[in-house]
A = this chain, B = another copy of it.
Amino acid sequence: MELKTTSSDFYELTLEPIDISSVARRIVPPTCGATVTLDGYVREHTRAHKRTLYLVYEAYQPMALRELRRIVEEARAKFDIAHVGIVHRTGQVEIGETSVVIAVAAPHRRAAFEACEWLIRELKRTVPIWKKEFYEDGSMWAEGEHYEAHRAN
């Protein structure tokens, strides 16, 4: 499921494994000098002595795509960046697989680093996607980073 805008930015939710190179390459205009990519993946971890077998990400898809577009537009206003690509996995994701990739291309690397870091923070704060952890004997929803519904601006 993808949402294209008039620019080269893109936001997608996908059931397929994510190839981070192809996400990064799709956002490179010839005048750019650097792409910074965040590759976030599912950690091997335990909660209350239970080993996580896999995760399932669920999205409120139309709103998730809309929020992704909103945070990218905000990033473009804040930072001197050329293009952004974001792909978030939905459905079942195995340990070690990439759950989210954010790639930012910019003429100068400083802005690419800043924007990429800001975008993952905003994504985790506002984009309506939920993670459920599955164990041998059950499952549990992960707690999100707290979202302030009454925003200051």
Interface of chain A, main secondary structure: mixed
* Inter-chain contact B40/A37, CB cutoff 8 Å: no
| Size bracket of the A interface | 20 to 34
* Inter-chain contact B30/A34, CB cutoff 8 Å: no
Q: Which of B19, B96, B120 contacts A109 (CB 8 A)?
A: B120
A13 at interface (Cβ–Cβ under 8 A)? no
CB neighbors of B among A22-70 (8 A): 24, 28, 30-41, 43-45
A71 at interface (Cβ–Cβ under 8 A)? no
* Inter-chain contact B43/A39, CB cutoff 8 Å: no
* Inter-chain contact B34/A37, CB cutoff 8 Å: no
Q: Which residue of B lies closest to A98 (CB)?
A: B35
Q: A21 contacts which chain B residues (CB < 8 A)? A: 19-21
A11 at interface (Cβ–Cβ under 8 A)? no
Q: Which of B28, B39, B44, B45 contacts A24 (CB 8 A)?
A: B39
Using A19-B21, A32-B41, A33-B40 as known contacts, list a sample of 12 further A-B pairs with CB atoms less than 8 Å apart, ordered by residue number in A. A20-B24, A28-B96, A30-B43, A31-B43, A34-B38, A35-B38, A36-B36, A36-B37, A36-B116, A37-B38, A113-B116, A113-B117
Tell me, rounded to whole Å, the shortest Cβ–Cβ distance linking A121 to chain B: 9
Greatest chain B CB density within 10 A among A21, A30, A38, A110 is at: A21
